[in-house]
Amino acid sequence: MKIYAVGGAVRDELLGLPVKDRDYVVVGATPEEMTRLGYKPVGKDFPVFLHPKTHEEYALARTERKTARGYKGFQVHAAPDVTLEQDLSRRDLTINAIARDAEGRIIDPYGGTVDLKRGVLRHVSPAFAEDPVRILRVARFAARFGFRVAPATLRLMRAMVKAGEADALVAERVWQELAIGLMEAAPSKMFALLRSCGALARVLPELAEAWAQRGQYARSQRALDYAAARGSAPRARYAVLACALAGLEAPERELRRMSARLRAPADAADLALLALRHREQIDLGAKLEAEGIVTLLQACDAWRRPAAR
């Protein structure tokens, strides 16, 4: 049995970034062996265990086979004969397919360390196309690191959208990925990539329509990155995004539709609606007198709802 650190922790260490969570792959073991060693099984879809002391996740090396459309349509095979290289081959990007052994040696069969140095997001294998969530993940990694997407990967993402894979994304997962991406250093890059590959029109059609209007896309991008630079809360960044719908025929109706489809949290949906409704008064360039500020706070019901301030 051999244990390897894998994924984001190895990537972030190589980038000199702080590591929050560590994940491990176990090669050459069975679920019974893991249980005997005191690991607690927690995986439903494939064998994942918690370390008895650190409670970090240890997953048995596995392969996957596509069986149906969507991100849940996979058949998983975990066995002692699955190699580390086979396990890494099922991962989305080369920068996430790097491992480190117990002695600290780097195992990098797919060139992830080179792509880290070059600032490139590149898919590991054609199996990337089997999971539509990876489109969203690549977009938020672009927002986090500012890396460019390899041309072949962008072509593959466009082909996935054209094949209808993005239509299989469920609302909760879309919101989860978008919410993370909104909190990255340059959220505009996430939406730029989603727009470039065609996924934006599938997951956020209202936004895609609004951004088709002249000048609206550039304004939104600047506003999103401004909110990020100020360290705004997630709901505030969603509200900034929502203001892009102002040019639509019925903007409030379209925003309600978008928030409902995404199943956005109530506080985010409510603040977005208030921001869209009062966008002229709260525009970054607006200079309100004291009376105007009080009127705006009253309109937002800010005295009873501090989150709206």
Condensed to tens digits (0 to 9), the pLDDT of residues 106-142 reads 999 999 999 999 999 999 999 999 899 999 999 999 9
Compute the average pLDDT of residues 254-264. 96
Nearest alpha carbon to residue 135 among 112, 155, 108, 113: 155
pLDDT number for residue 285: 44
| Token pair belonging to 196 | 């470039």
> Looking at 84, 116, 148, which one is the last position of a domain?
116
Nearest alpha carbon to residue 297 among 281, 280, 273: 281
DSSP string computed for 66-108: E-SSSTT-EEEEE-TT--HHHHHHTSSBGGGS-EE-TTS-EE-
The lowest-confidence range among 102-106, 232-236, 275-279, 295-299 is: 295-299
In a domain, 47, yes or no: yes
- The three-point CA angle 184-258-140 to 5° equals 20
In a domain, 29, yes or no: yes
pTM score: 0.85
Confidence of residue 267 (pLDDT cuts 50, 70, 90): very high
Same domain, 108 and 211: no
pLDDT number for residue 290: 58
Percent of the chain whose predicted confidence (pLDDT) is above 70: 86
In a domain, 195, yes or no: no
In a domain, 163, yes or no: no
Q: Is the pLDDT of residue 168 over 50?
A: yes
Computed from CA positions of residues 235, 238, 240, 245, in that sequence, does the dihedral angle turn out positive or negative?
negative
Nearest alpha carbon to residue 175 among 243, 269, 264, 256: 264
Write out the residue range of the structural domain in which residue 84 sits. 1-116
Type and span of the H or E element at 246: none
pLDDT number for residue 76: 73
Rg (CA), the chain: 22
> Looking at 116, 136, 159, which one is the last position of a domain?
116
Burial of 117 (0-12, 13-18, 19+ CB in 10 A): exposed
How many angstroms separate the CA atoms of 71 and 129, rounded? 10
What number of H helices and E strands is found in the chain? 16, 11
| Token pair belonging to 123 | 């898919």
pLDDT number for residue 292: 54
Q: Is the pLDDT of residue 291 over 60?
A: no
In a domain, 123, yes or no: no
Q: What is the pLDDT of residues 11-70, one digit of tens each?
A: 999 999 999 889 999 999 999 999 999 999 987 767 899 999 999 999 999 887 655 555
Type and span of the H or E element at 309: none
pLDDT number for residue 294: 54
The lowest-confidence range among 62-66, 154-158, 163-167, 234-238 is: 62-66
| Token pair belonging to 300 | 């937002």
The domain that holds 23 is classified in CATH as: 3.30.460.10
Same domain, 112 and 1: yes
The count of structural domains within the chain is: 2
> Looking at 57, 89, 116, which one is the last position of a domain?
116
Confidence of residue 78 (pLDDT cuts 50, 70, 90): confident
How many angstroms separate the CA atoms of 242 and 246, rounded? 8
In a domain, 231, yes or no: yes
In a domain, 226, yes or no: yes
Q: Is the pLDDT of residue 226 over 60?
A: yes
Position 196: which residue type? S
In a domain, 54, yes or no: yes
Q: Is the pLDDT of residue 91 over 90?
A: yes
Instruction: Kindly report the average pLDDT of the chain as a whole number.
Output: 88
